[in-house]
Amino acid sequence: MRLSRDVNRRVGRAMHDYAMLADGDRVLVAVSGGMDSLVLVWLLLHWRKKAPIDYALEVVHVDMEPEGEAPGAAAIQTADLVARFGVQVHIVPALWRPVLSGEGEDARGQDLCFQCARSRRTQLFEHARQTGCTKIAFGHHRDDIVETFLLNLTCAGNISTMSPRQELFAGRLSLIRPLAYLDKSEIAAIGGELGLEPVRSTCPLSERTRRGEMHQLAEHIYRQIPGAKEHIFAALGNVRLQYLLRQTGGRRP
């Protein structure tokens, strides 16, 4: 299958703007079984065929519901889908799994989504270290980047988002997001053309998270203001620090 010229150009621009891949890289690709990360695996394989550089891919799924020592149903489905691209998935059983005791919080009142994502990331970092991968590719896209910005703005009181490339551990590990310039709908269209049926999330909280609320808010803004998504995304790279609240009274925050 071929990508449209526009999609191809934006993937290339994201890769280039953030120097995402280099010759000889070993890249861990984090695949959840959702459409975005499945398309990501396909895209990185497709890109390698025509790029002037070569890189190795280690595709990893953190199994949130293992059946004892064996992989769970969602992990098996994910591995089967990725096997269609001729690639094997390494299934890693989750070290930490949420125990629900109410509205998305554990017995100590901590946010389960946050803990779950943090634990999964830690496992992915460790797997990258063990397999000699210096980059981890995630399936986040432009909608995720805008919605994270809205989340941080409205719920955490800061102006930030997830960067298309983020350096960790003094540069020993980079997180990359090659789909950063694509919309979720464009990724779904690619997945549809590839005949992919994503694995349904079995997380009981997936429908009622703060992120879900940010998605609704973003959709509302886009309906009211044409071009708002493009403007918000552009604004994240066009910060006018002198027009923010920078106290100059000598007081340290």
Q: Which residues participate in the annotated binding site for ATP?
A: 30-32, 36, 62, 139, 144
Shortest distance, CB of residue 61 to ligand ATP, whole angstroms?
A: 5
Q: How many secondary structure helices (H) and strands (E) does the chain include?
A: 8, 6
Assign 181 to helix, strand or coil.
Answer: coil
Residues annotated in a binding site: 30-32, 36, 62, 139, 144
Binding mask 200-219 for ligand ATP (x = CB under 6 A): -x------------------
Which span (6-14, 26-34, 163-171, 219-227) binds ligand ATP, by CB under 6 A?
Answer: 26-34
Query: φ and ψ at 90, to 5 degrees?
Result: -90, 120
Shortest distance, CB of residue 52 to ligand ATP, whole angstroms?
A: 26
Identified binder of ligand ATP from the candidate list 21, 37, 44, 128, rule CB under 6 A:
37
Q: Which residues contact 93 (CB under 8 A, 6 or more apart)?
A: 62, 63, 66, 71
User: Exposure string (b/e) for 155-167, b if CB count within 10 Å is 16 or more?
Assistant: eeeeeebbebbee
Q: Is 64 in the site for ligand ATP (CB under 6 A)?
A: yes
The answer to whether the beta carbons of residues 219 and 136 sit under 8 Å apart is: no
Instruction: Count residues binding ligand ATP (CB under 6 A).
Output: 16
The answer to whether the beta carbons of residues 139 and 179 sit under 8 Å apart is: yes
Shortest distance, CB of residue 246 to ligand ATP, whole angstroms?
A: 33
Q: Is 30 in the site for ligand ATP (CB under 6 A)?
A: yes
Q: Which residues contact 164 (CB under 8 A, 6 or more apart)?
A: 14, 17, 18, 20, 145, 176, 177, 180, 181
Residues 138-177 that bind ligand ATP (CB under 6 A): 138-140
Which span (136-144, 145-153, 165-173, 188-196) binds ligand ATP, by CB under 6 A?
Answer: 136-144
Q: Which residues contact 106 (CB under 8 A, 6 or more apart)?
A: 98, 99, 100, 112, 115
Shortest distance, CB of residue 91 to ligand ATP, whole angstroms?
A: 9
Residues 99-128 that bind ligand ATP (CB under 6 A): 120
